[in-house]
Structure formats: structure tokens, C-alpha cells
Chains A and B, each alone.
Chain A
Amino acid sequence: MVAQAAREIRDGERVFVGMRLPLIAFVVAKRTHAPNAIGLFELGVVRDEPAPELLYTMGDNANVAGAVWCARTIDLMGMLQRGDVHAGFIGGAEIDVHGNLNTTAIGDRGHPKVQLPGSGGGADIASLAHRLIVIMPHDRRRLREKVDFVTSPGHGDGRGWRKRAGLPRGGPSVLITTLAVFRFVDGSAVLESAHPGVSVERIRNETGWPLAVAAALRETEPPSTEVLSIIRGYDPQGFWTRRGE
């Protein structure tokens, strides 16, 4: 997941990095194909080099020391709203076929079955970045026909919805799971690649919407030994990378 997420960052892009696995994807991208990518962190940090040690949160001292800008949330969110941010990362508890994400509550919002933490900056990134990269564990209960609450808007009910809703741009471009990679085509998720050793049948069983499969379905490119060694060197205890995510 981390290796594939890193591939989604292009050289020279401004990227809203966020929490958890994307922190590591940014490191991998910077040290391989995207040395000129810029990392933006919504608490008010801009970095042109990744932090030298494993981050548990974007506010760890190591993510601040060596930054090129310490600012306010509103400054970073303003860049996002202006359209200055090429790509953003986000995870979620639930996603639907159009890439709408729920991180607020399972069940009814007023009387939730499971109360989740909420948006953080996720809904803003989903609303305003040019491209959204979604990372989630693959599970039928998470990849659902319809989510209980739309925290972070994806493509709504499909093609053209974002424009009708008044969103200026963007939407999910890719969903990377523990089993597969989906690309959003005309506002709907299409299976683009299956991770090595994972059958389409298994993906179909673990996905809550009728699976659309790309004509040119392929196997997800496995991480190179260089990328694996960057990931293991950065997170040697596997704090983020061995959670089965």
C-alpha cells in the first residue's frame, strides 16, 4: 500500500500528507522518483525534505525542525482552497463505489453504533485538492454500496456530481487497499490491479459494490528492494506498516 501510494505522488507536486501511512509514502516518494515534491501538513508545516525519523503525528518535533515554513492552519487550508495543492491523502472507515468517505459514525449520526473520530482536515482535502489518493484496509464492511455518512465528498452519485454540488475541482483518483488498486473512471471505482497473489474472485467477495474490472487488469507492481528497504529503514518496528493496513 505504501509503495503504491508513493507512486501516486509526482515529482514537483505539492502534497497534503496527513496522518499514518501517507507520512511514509511521502518519504518513499521523496527518496525515489519525486525528490522535488513538497509536503504540506494542515497544522501549519511545509517541508521540502521528509522528517529524518519515524513520525507518530504530523506535530512531532521532528516534523517541525527542518521545516521551511511554520504557519497557521488557515494558511495551508487557504492554499488548498485556492487550488495550489495537487494531491492529498486520506483514509477512512468506509468508502462507496463513488469514493465518498465516512470517518464520522457507523449507523445514525445522532445515535451512532460506532462513533468515529470525524473529519479532521480530511473533508477539506477531499473537497479542494486537485486529486485525492485514498488508502484503506480492504474489507467488505468498509467498501460499501452506500456509506452511512458522507464526511469527505467523493464523486457523489457519479459523473458530474461535484460540479453540481459546487465543488471547485478534484475528487478521488485512486483507491489503494490491502488487496488491490482501483482507479476512478467517470466518478466510479474500477479495479485496475490486484496485488500479487490476490484473485479477482477474492476482491469481488471482499467488495460491497458490484465490481467493475478494467479491460487491461494487471498485477500491482510489487515494491522494489530499494523501496522496501526505505520503508523498513524508516519504520523498523513496523508501528504503522505492520498493522495489517
Chain B
Amino acid sequence: MTSKVTTMRDAVTKHVPDGASVALGCALEPAIPFAFAHELIRQRRRDLHLIGPISDIAFDQLIGAGCVAVVSAAWVGNVSAGLAHAYRRAMEQGIPRPIEVRDHSNFSIAQALLAGALGAPYLPTRSLLGSDIPRANGTFREASDPFSGDALLLIPAITPDVTAIAVQRADEDGNAHLWGPWGVSQEAALAARATIVIADEIVARSVIASDPNRTIVPGTKVTAVVHEPGACHPSPLQGRYRRDHEFFHQYHAATRTPEGFAAWIREWVSEVSDRRAYLAKLGARWGALRDDGVPAALALF
């Protein structure tokens, strides 16, 4: 078996071209691959189509950095601090550029990705009937159930060009263990043309095989594996490190103006060469967030 392990820089260079549709932040608040988002910004990707349920501030950073043309999401904001300033500027003033938003709910984005994972053209739902979201999204269709005649909304499949998921551990082939809530991660990984697994730890295949129920995506569906400890800070990764609430609140305060946003991106993204340098910059703060490393119990099958 050939190892798929590569660096974040190479994974983005090889697999994420300008204009790509990219799903990330698929576990909702935890396990958001900020290291991946920051590399997209450093490599000045343009015209991306971001796909995800809530993203916390990852989408805000990519939008503010001018990387994004389209967003398909249920929620773009800062979960514990409030509104997302860069998203607001893009939508209200076209700064740094206008973006197109296809409104979703968490259920509709989950269904769209599940349809993609199933190879189905769409999935029907009874959610969102009477909401303005279908009109604002523009891709849904109203229909009636051929069996009962009841009203339905059809959610077309989303098949991202690339899905990036962060996990606690994977082997070199990309067989990946994620624990904690999965959100829409599995659907997004299975629906994508290319899936990038970002692992806190690279382990032997036997570790994965000891507990295959924990595998979120099999290696055969994975394009590249990046070994990137701490890739999710300031979001949490269950059993490895906690959420850095204060970091989210500081970002909120620092990015109220375009100048403040630019300074923040310079400090935490552009002038930081990679994740290792980022963690070194966090210093003792990073150490304080680490869990004591209680490993998930090994299951012996």
C-alpha cells in the first residue's frame, strides 16, 4: 500500500484548485479544520464554493480573505460571540467582494450531502415548507408525494469537489477514526470527488481495524492524508483538546473593521508559515487546552 500522507501545503496545491467546491466544518462546532482553511488563504485560492452546516468562524475568515464566490450553508457566524463581521461586510457592502449565498438549514444541507453520498439525485423533506429559505436558496423544488399527495420539498444532491475532515487518528491509507459527534462529516466525505483526511495522529492499520465502527470514512474513498496535530484550534477535538472560547471572542473583537480583519489575518495566517508555527505562537495557551490524552479504549474484535 502506498502512503497517502502529505503536507497541508501539498494537499491544497494538488487537490484544491481555484473555483473548487469545498466542504469543511462538517462536524459543526467541533473538529473544524482551521489549518486547512488557513492554507487556502495563504495560497490565495479564489472563487471557492464553500459548503457546510455552520462552520463557526472558518467561513468568515475565508470570505474576508477574498477566497470565496459562493456559500452553501445553514449558518455563518461566531457561535459563542455573535455575528460574523467579514460575512456581514461581504453581504452588506460587497467587501472584499460580493458573494452568492444559497441558504440552507442544517437538515437540508445534511440531506443534500446524504443524497450525494447515496448517488441519489435528491431527497424529499417535510422541513422548510412555508419558510423563505427555499426561495432564497433557488435550487430546491416543491413537489407532492406521489403516494399520499402531501407537499414535499426536494433537496438536490451536493457533491463537493473536495471535502476536508479533521479526525483524531488515521492510518497512512486514510482509514480514519473520528469520535464525538459526526454532524454531516460522513455524508460529505462519501459525497466528495476528493476527500482529504487531516489527522491529529497517524496510527497503524491495526489500530483502525481494532474498532472499525469508529471509522468515519474508509481509506479507499480518501485522496490524501495530512498529519497535522492541533489542526482544529480554536475549535475542539474530542479527547485531544478543548475549545478556545476566548480566541473566538478575541477574533470577534479584532475583526470589526476591514483593517482589523486584515491585521488579524496577517498575524494568525499570512505571517505564520504552517500549523507548527501557529501552535508555537499560541505557546502556553495551547498547552493549557490539551486534554490529558485519555485514549479511547481499544475495542478488541
Question: Do A and B interact?
Answer: yes
* A59 CA to B74 CA, complexed, in Å: 16
Smallest CB gap from A121: residue in B: B106
Interface of B is mostly: loop
* A93 CA to B146 CA, complexed, in Å: 37
Given contacts A44-B183, A117-B77, 15 further A-B contacts (CB under 8 A): A41-B181, A43-B29, A73-B107, A81-B127, A105-B91, A115-B91, A116-B77, A117-B75, A117-B76, A121-B74, A121-B107, A124-B107, A128-B127, A150-B131, A162-B130
A48, chain B: closest CB distance, angstroms: 16
Q: Is B87 an interface residue (CB 8 A)?
A: yes
B37, chain A: closest CB distance, angstroms: 17
Smallest CB gap from B142: residue in A: A166
Contact of A61 among B129, B186, B187, B291 (CB under 8 A): B291
Q: Is B6 an interface residue (CB 8 A)?
A: no
Ranked nearest first, the 7 interchain pairs of A and B with the lowest CB-CB distance are A166-B151, A59-B29, A117-B77, A165-B130, A44-B181, A43-B28, A115-B91
B112, chain A: closest CB distance, angstroms: 11
The range of chain A's interface size is 35 or more
Q: Is B277 an interface residue (CB 8 A)?
A: no
Residues of A within 8 A of B110 (CB): 72-74, 77
Interface residues of B in 176-190 (CB under 8 A from A): 179-187
Can you identify 20 A-B contacts, CB atoms within 8 angstroms? A42-B28, A43-B30, A58-B28, A71-B182, A72-B183, A73-B110, A74-B110, A81-B125, A112-B91, A114-B83, A114-B92, A119-B131, A120-B53, A121-B105, A124-B107, A124-B127, A150-B130, A153-B130, A166-B129, A168-B126
Interface residues of A in 152-202 (CB under 8 A from B): 152-153, 156, 161-162, 165-168
Residues of B within 8 A of A124 (CB): 105-108, 127-128
With contacts A57-B29, A60-B242, A117-B83 taken as known, whether A42 is within 8 angstroms of B182 at the C-beta atoms is: no
Contact of B236 among A19, A59, A72, A74 (CB under 8 A): A59
With contacts A57-B79, A151-B131, A156-B130 taken as known, whether A74 is within 8 angstroms of B136 at the C-beta atoms is: no
B158, chain A: closest CB distance, angstroms: 13
Smallest CB gap from B180: residue in A: A64
Contact B103 A119 (CB under 8 A): yes
A172, chain B: closest CB distance, angstroms: 13
Q: Is B162 an interface residue (CB 8 A)?
A: no
Contact A166 B53 (CB under 8 A): no
Interface residues of A in 105-132 (CB under 8 A from B): 105, 109, 111-124, 126-128
Contact B127 A56 (CB under 8 A): no
Contact B129 A72 (CB under 8 A): no
Contact of A56 among B79, B104, B152 (CB under 8 A): B79
With contacts A104-B136, A115-B88, A161-B130 taken as known, whether A72 is within 8 angstroms of B75 at the C-beta atoms is: no
Q: Is A234 an interface residue (CB 8 A)?
A: no
Q: Is B133 an interface residue (CB 8 A)?
A: yes
Q: Is A209 an interface residue (CB 8 A)?
A: no
Chain B window 17-41, contacts with chain A (Cβ cutoff 8 Å), 1 for yes, 0 for no: 0000000000111100000000000
With contacts A43-B183, A114-B92, A115-B88 taken as known, whether A123 is within 8 angstroms of B128 at the C-beta atoms is: yes
Chain B window 48-65, contacts with chain A (Cβ cutoff 8 Å), 1 for yes, 0 for no: 000001101000000000
Q: Is B114 an interface residue (CB 8 A)?
A: yes
Q: Is B4 an interface residue (CB 8 A)?
A: no
Q: Is B245 an interface residue (CB 8 A)?
A: yes
Interface residues of B in 96-127 (CB under 8 A from A): 103-108, 110-111, 114, 125-127
Contact B27 A81 (CB under 8 A): no
Q: Is B259 an interface residue (CB 8 A)?
A: no
With contacts A81-B107, A116-B83, A150-B132 taken as known, whether A59 is within 8 angstroms of B243 at the C-beta atoms is: yes
